[in-house]
Amino acid sequence: MPTKLGDRMLLGMKYPLPDQYNKAVQNPELCFSDPELKTGVIELNKLGLPFVRCGNFSSVYKVILPDKEQAVKCFFNYYPDIKFRYERISECLHTRNSPYFIDFKYQENGIRVNGKNYPLLLMDWITGISFDKYIDECVKAGDTEKITALRDSFVSMCKQLQTDKIAHGDLQHANIIVTPNGLKLIDYDGMYVASVTLTQSNEVGHPNYQHPKRTRFNYGETMDNFSVMVIHNALTALISKPALWEKYYNGDNLIFSEKDFSNTNQSPLFRELFSTDVLKTQAALLAKTCLMPLDKSPDFLALLDADGSVSADLLPEEIHLQPETVSSVSTGNTPKTPADMVLCPKCTSAQNAMGMFCNTCGYSLINEKPPQLQTIQTAKPFKLPKFKTTALFFLVFSFVLFLYDNTKTGPVKNFTFDDILTVAEQFLSKGRVEKLTKSIEADPVNPASYYQRAMEFVKAGSYDKAIEDFTKVLKYEPQNAKAYLNRGVAFGMLGFQKEAVTDYIEAAKLGLKPAQDFLDSKNIKWKTDNSKEQEFLKN
């Protein structure tokens, strides 16, 4: 998700944009303050430009030195406590000598851009493959044993972090690298160690791996608990049902997404996991945790057996995952429900009142959202009124205008038929926006409603609001080419041509022909080389 321009300003300090860093690093001897980096060579892409791994908060470059390779991380945002954080983290990691972290140095005035000095992070370059790409290779090869071994290695790493009282803060596929020497963690911006005596983080982690109620103030040694649960659930599910990968992996997750956590009751993935005996208990624990306050979440690692499964015997008393099934014979009369039983609001079967899910249909019996939300669908497309209604409307409206034109004061403006159509369309559009807004309030993770409302904003000329809604669509559907194209149009109407072209290129890469034709007509390159990258470092 792109970083907002407003997020780049804090306490009066403005950091360079990615393209400004790109220009600076082309001259290592001038931009770097480190004598060793001055002698290095920046890795270039096929166009002869710096090969940059650009994330939401930083750009990372590979610097090739005579005897080694280094990674240089340049920041987009200014945080007043970043030096303090990295110094405490560095001290802790040197003390622990953990095999899961990479040695780094924080340089306060490490890089010079446009005549000003900015900090950078210098670390050893590691050769490996990202967590999700490794899983992708295992699934395609049908090798579930490697996925099992990966899960065991992941659990061992997390237990060691817990013992050392260290929390990464953003455990996700891009920050876990599979190397020949084992797992390595990168991106320490949000890390917690005991010596960092702060009460909040500068980030909240990847939404596809974080508890839906997490904020910057959820900062401490237990903040990785939910992410560990998500990743372990995903690996366990893929060991049992590898086909889930192709169905739910979208390039920015493992199999779970933010939408699954926000509304477990409507999640197709959770329903599929609940239907499998091997996965039901662990998936239900994750779904239950999504509904609980974050600080009440159970210690997931403490619930694991030696074989990697969740032990039902170790579950806290407040978590009841498998309600008893109570069968009843239909007699044509309303079934009686004992005091300790409830009726499922979806299928009406009797369930244990202390249970979490309906044992018949899987419905969440303690879902925070009311049952009727299951029936809410995407807002229906607008249909014009019947011809008689439209004709009557224009007849009455024209008569009112005729009377007004013949008053003593005379008309203020000579209205035309096009003026009448414009007024009518504005009135109808306002109604559609209000209806879509209500749909969004009822189901805030439905990208279709955001898309329809964004199109209404485009028609009304409210391009800034349209951009906000298109960005929401892309948050939930990162492969939506039309959203990229239309957001580009909105950017263009506001004069942000660079942002517009960037969105056109994304739409073209996703196969949208109008975007491709437009870029080709302007001689703008949009095709990329899709060859696999063996060396991986992303922030």
pLDDT, one tens digit per residue, over 413-461 is 454 555 555 555 555 677 788 888 888 888 788 888 889 899 888 888 7
* Matching residue, tokens 């390159």: 525
Could you give the angle at which helices 417-442 and 447-460 cross, rounded to 10 degrees? 150
Q: Are residues 12 and 98 in the same domain?
A: yes
Alpha helices in 368-512 (DSSP H): 387-405, 417-442, 447-460, 463-476, 481-493, 497-509
pLDDT of 530 > 50? The answer is no
Least confident of 182-196, 366-380, 396-410: 366-380
Q: Are residues 407 and 425 in the same domain?
A: yes
- Total domain count for the chain? 4
Token pair, residue 425, equals 């369309």
Q: What is the pLDDT of residues 450-506, one digit of tens each?
A: 898 998 888 887 888 899 899 999 988 889 999 999 998 888 887 788 888 999 999
- pLDDT value at residue 326: 27
pLDDT of 135 > 90? The answer is yes
261 domain-assigned = yes
Q: What phi and psi values does residue 107 have, to the nearest 5 degrees?
A: -115, 115
Q: What is the pLDDT of residues 147-163, one digit of tens each?
A: 999 999 999 999 999 99
| Residue 205 per-residue DSSP state | -
Rounded to an integer, what distance in angstroms lies between the CA atom of residue 316 and that of residue 297? Answer: 10
- Rounded to the nearest 5 degrees, what angle is found at the Cα of 369, between the Cα atoms of 363 and 371? 50
pLDDT of 387 > 70? The answer is no
Task: Compute the CA torsion angle 25, 28, 34, 36 (nearest 10 deg).
Answer: 130
The type of residue at 338 is P
Least confident of 250-264, 279-293, 314-328, 486-500: 314-328
Task: Residue 38: give its domain's CATH number.
Answer: 3.30.200
Q: Are residues 110 and 247 in the same domain?
A: no
pLDDT of 318 > 90? The answer is no
| Residue 112 per-residue DSSP state | E
Task: Residue 265: give its domain's CATH number.
Answer: 1.10.510.10
Instruction: Give the pLDDT band (50/70/90) at residue 527.
Output: confident
Instruction: Give the pLDDT band (50/70/90) at residue 81.
Output: confident
* Cβ proximity of 347 and 361 under 8 Å: yes
From 124, 154, 169, the end of a domain falls on: 124
44 domain-assigned = yes
526 domain-assigned = no
**Cα dist. 76→10, 31, 118, 277, 315 in Å?**
11, 16, 10, 47, 43
Token pair, residue 4, equals 């907002």
From 73, 96, 124, the end of a domain falls on: 124
- pLDDT value at residue 445: 82
Instruction: Give the pLDDT band (50/70/90) at residue 272.
Output: very high
**Section 29-52 average pLDDT:** 92
- pLDDT value at residue 363: 64
Furthest-apart CA atoms within the chain: distance in Å: 93
Rounded to an integer, what distance in angstroms lies between the CA atom of residue 532 and that of residue 178? Answer: 15
527 domain-assigned = no
**Cα dist. 321→280, 287, 436 in Å?**
9, 10, 36
Strands, E, within 125-244: which ranges? 129-130, 176-179, 182-185
* Matching residue, tokens 């001897």: 29
82 domain-assigned = yes
pLDDT of 95 > 50? The answer is yes
Model-level pTM greater than 0.75? no
Residue span of the structural domain in which 50 resides:
5-124
64 domain-assigned = yes
* Matching residue, tokens 């953990």: 98
* Cβ proximity of 511 and 530 under 8 Å: no
Q: Are residues 470 and 505 in the same domain?
A: yes
- pLDDT value at residue 8: 39
- pLDDT value at residue 413: 47
Least confident of 276-285, 372-381, 509-518: 372-381
* Cβ proximity of 314 and 326 under 8 Å: no
Q: Are residues 148 and 238 in the same domain?
A: yes
- Rounded to the nearest 5 degrees, what angle is found at the Cα of 377, between the Cα atoms of 374 and 380? 160
- pLDDT value at residue 53: 86
Least confident of 9-13, 104-108, 424-428: 9-13
Mean pLDDT of the chain: 80
Q: Are residues 48 and 166 in the same domain?
A: no
Q: Are residues 119 and 27 in the same domain?
A: yes
Q: Are residues 22 and 161 in the same domain?
A: no
Name, in order, each residue with C-beta under 8 angstroms of 424's C-beta and a sequence gap of 6 or more.
393
From 124, 153, 169, the end of a domain falls on: 124
pLDDT of 329 > 80? The answer is no
Q: What is the pLDDT of residues 233-247, one digit of tens each?
A: 999 999 999 999 999
Cα 514 to chain centroid distance, Å, stands at 27
534 domain-assigned = no
Rounded to an integer, what distance in angstroms lies between the CA atom of residue 38 and that of residue 33? Answer: 7
Q: Are residues 230 and 119 in the same domain?
A: no
**Section 358-380 average pLDDT:** 50
Q: Are residues 362 and 393 in the same domain?
A: no
Specify the DSSP element, H or E, that contains 82.
helix 82-96
**Section 207-232 average pLDDT:** 93
Rounded to an integer, what distance in angstroms lies between the CA atom of residue 191 and that of residue 173? Answer: 16
